[in-house]
Amino acid sequence: MTRETAKNEIKKLLTNYVNMITEKRSGDAYVCPLCKSGTHKKGTAAFHIKDGVFWKCFSCGENGDIFDLIGKIENISDFKDIMDRAIEMFGFTLDDNDHLSYKAEKASAHKPSNGNETSKAQETLVNYTEKFLQAQECLFDNTHGEGLEYLVKRGISAETAKKYGIGFIPAWRHPKVSQYVPQSPRIIVPLSKDSYFARDIRSGISSKTKQYEKQRVKGEKRHFFNESALYTSDSPIYVTEGEFSALSIIEAGGTAIALGSTSYADDFIKCVTEKPPVQPLIITMDNDDAGKKAVSKLSNGLVSLSVPFAVYNPMGDYKRSE
Ligand SMILES: [Zn+2]
């Protein structure tokens, strides 16, 4: 994303930011994070947001946009520094492709430049095994029933959840983003000891938040959900786009692995090039443009590797397999 795009995106995040740093009082008024109007017994909250991008406090008279507010709260005066802070805070990455992406995506894409030693060291450093165990405990903990409720609503039984080490984290945040990025309740699907998929379980969230509802914490190498089935299955293996689609097939008695994203089709071909699967594959992607492109990439790759496969589209004209 360009700096200009980032600037425009961040501008729209004023309400998110205000909700992070202060609390709402009656109507549309917030406690002023600068003069604290609204905290005294008599004082009325006088901090207002206008059109989602401007703010004004009628008590202290301060006003501006999100950058002015961040500057005042964090005591930064130079606009460039405020911008850098905002980009960090909301986890945006500036890149050449104009993509809105989390920092982590970039960070994990950068291979260590100084040889194998560093990469080995990092590999041994990141291990989420303990975290996965805690998340599994949490999924079945009565005080956090919403995680299991979400799974059941999506047709995934507790038994399947247990078998695949699925867990729940009530207040999750991507390990590589700033502490100011809001936390969210997530189903955790382990992919390998150093990577997992985290799915926001809330419904009715804003489109701004929704774009982050499916997030991945990447490890040293790309891993796919239930990847080991490629080498152990005794029946054909479904290859789905999303983890939940794979889980649904498993729930119905089949064997399935998930790519995680249509953009990982190349990685998947690399994976089966290194070690071919022991059973034929059944490719089933979402019936949208990205899904169709992935199907053609996978087909071409599998043909050239002489891996037996079939393409199956159970959705007909419906777009999504979930
Ligand atoms: Zn004020």
Q: What is the predicted pLDDT for the residue at 155?
A: 94
Is the residue at 319 inside a domain?
Answer: no
Residue 155 phi/psi, 5-degree rounding, is 85, 15
Could you tell me if residue 109 is inside a domain?
A: no
Q: Do 204 and 286 belong to one domain?
A: no
Single residue among 190, 217, 244 that ends a domain in this structure: 217
Q: Please identify, among 154, 186, 217, the residue that sits at the C-terminal boundary of a domain.
A: 217
Question: Over 80: is that where the pLDDT of 133 sits?
Answer: yes
> What average pLDDT does the segment 160-172 reach?
95
Q: Is residue 178 part of a domain?
A: yes
Specify whether 198 is located in the same domain as 133: yes
Higher pLDDT, 208 or 65: 65
Residue 309 pLDDT more than 90? yes
On whether both 254 and 294 belong to a single domain, the answer is yes
Is there a single domain that holds both residue 135 and residue 74? no
Cα 208 to ligand 1 centroid, rounded to whole Å:
27
CA of 227 to the centre of ligand 1 (A): 55
Query: Where residue 72 sits, what CATH number does that domain have?
Result: 3.90.580.10
Amino acid at 253: G
When divided into structural domains, the chain yields a total of 3
Please report, for the domain that includes residue 265, its CATH number. 3.40.1360.10
Tell whether 17 and 44 lie within a shared domain: yes
Nearest-angstrom CA–CA distance, 157 and 218: 26
Q: How far is the CA of 10 from the centre of ligand 1 (A)?
A: 22
Instruction: Specify whether 7 is located in the same domain as 39.
Output: yes
- Residue 72 in domain: yes
Q: Do residues 142 and 84 share a domain?
A: no
- DSSP bridge pairs for 256: 238
Contact predicate 219/127, CB 8 Å: no
Query: Could you tell me which residues are beta bridge partners of residue 283?
Result: 239, 311
Q: Is residue 108 part of a domain?
A: no
Q: Tell whether the model's pLDDT for residue 124 goes beyond 80.
A: no
**For residue 228, is pLDDT > 80?**
yes
Do 111 and 179 form a contact (C-beta atoms < 8 A)? no
- What is the per-residue pLDDT for 109? 41
Are 9 and 1 within 8 A, CB to CB? Answer: yes
Residue 248 lies in a domain: yes
Would you say residue 148 has pLDDT above 90? yes
Please list the residues that pair with 239 across neighbouring strands: 257, 283
**15-69 tens-digit pLDDT:** 989 988 888 887 789 999 998 888 776 578 889 999 999 999 988 999 999 999 9
Residue 272 lies in a domain: yes
Q: Do 206 and 237 fall into the same domain?
A: no
**Separation of CA 79 and ligand 1 centre (Å):** 21
To 5 degrees, how large is the angle CA 63–CA 206–CA 154? 160
**Do 148 and 212 sit in the same domain of this protein?**
yes
Confidence class for position 117, pLDDT limits 50, 70, 90? very low
- How far does residue 38's CA lie from ligand 1's centre (Å)? 9
Domain that holds residue 135: 126-217
| Span from the CA of 47 to the centroid of ligand 1 (angstroms) | 6
Ligand 1 centroid–CA 41 distance in Å is 16
Answer whether 38's CB lies under 8 Å from 25's CB: yes
Residue pair 285/241 in contact (Cβ under 8 Å)? The answer is: yes
Structure tokens given for 257: 């692995």
User: Does residue 304 fall inside a structural domain?
Assistant: yes
Domain-ending residue, one of 85, 101, 117: 101
Distance 56 CA to ligand 1 centre (A): 8
Q: Give me the amino acid identity at 91.
A: G
